Structure 1
Amino acid sequence: MRVKEHDVVEHVERVSLRELRLWVRQGWVRPSSSTKGPVFDELDLARIELLCDLRKELSLPSDTVPVVLNLLDHLHQARRDLRALAEALAEQPEEVQRSVAETVQNRKAEMDVPQTGRAR
């Protein structure tokens, strides 16, 4: 689904055209460009819904929004990376999978042991 600005405002009733354009200018939403203006996809709509929640429901200040969006973007990228790693590991022989799983468990155990004077 790809929609134009006015369709976004109709679909996401909590956002005005003025707010939407401001959020695009601020880089909080990054629609595709077309000869007739910006075009928004499903991910853009989800991000606009999130922005409505952050700004209107949680009253998050404007200067804090980029920080939250950046953290969420990093979290989503980490999840994609972990999914790719898990898929690659699943393609390996069982002995490799067991070895990696054992190594991960050992590392987690090491990280759980309090170390004097060192941060985890």
Structure 2
Amino acid sequence: MSIRYSETQVITAIGSLTKARLTQFVSAEIIVPEQSSSGPRFGEIDLARIRLLCELCDDLDLDEESVPVIISLIDQLHAARSDLRDLLDALTLEPADVRERIGSNWAARRKRATP
């Protein structure tokens, strides 16, 4: 079972986070905490996302409209990387000759695509 944190614990753990900023992230559905009888509960992945959001807002001085777009792009990148890992895992189950043929075809396509 993973550890869950209250709003107060999250705000305490992340120095640049305020209750207003956390509320903004949750309202924009950039962070979606688990709801419990004692209020919203945040997991480790939520804390990592909140830290990243605070860094983006503070260090890059992003406006409110830009943050959801950037997080969406980061999420898409992570999903694409996960899909590629799954594809590579599936390829390892194929016979060697199939893997070699796919590897050769992939290398040829990359060579053509590179200027």
TM-score tier, shorter chain, comes to over 0.9
Q: Distance in 2 between matches of 1:15 and 1:82?
A: 34
1:82 matched to 2:84? The reply is yes
Structure 2 residues without counterparts, runs of 5 or longer: none
Q: What whole-Å deviation, never above 9, does each CA across 1:50-86 have from its counterpart, x for those lacking one? A: 0110111211111111110111000000010011111
Aligned partner of 1:14 in structure 2 is 16
Q: Distance in 2 between matches of 1:39 and 1:100?
A: 45
Which aligned segments of 4 or more residues in structure 1 are displaced greater than 6 angstroms?
Answer: none
Cα shift at 1:106: 1.2
AA at the equivalent of 1:32: E
SS in 1 for 2:30: coil
AA at the equivalent of 1:35: S
Cα shift at 1:45: 0.3
Aligned partner of 1:92 in structure 2 is 94
Q: Distance in 2 between matches of 1:95 and 1:33?
A: 50
AA at the equivalent of 1:26: A
Alignment root-mean-square deviation, CA: 1.1
> For this pair of structures, how many residues does the alignment match?
113
Cα shift at 1:112: 2.3
AA at the equivalent of 1:57: D
The within-5 A match list for 1:33-44 is 33-44=35-46
Q: Distance in 1 between matches of 2:50 and 2:16?
A: 9
Q: Distance in 2 between matches of 1:37 and 1:103?
A: 53
Percent identity for Structure 1 against Structure 2: 35
AA at the equivalent of 2:62: L
TM normalised by structure 2 equals 0.92
Aligned partner of 1:61 in structure 2 is 63
Q: Distance in 2 between matches of 1:79 and 1:32?
A: 26
Cα shift at 1:30: 1.2
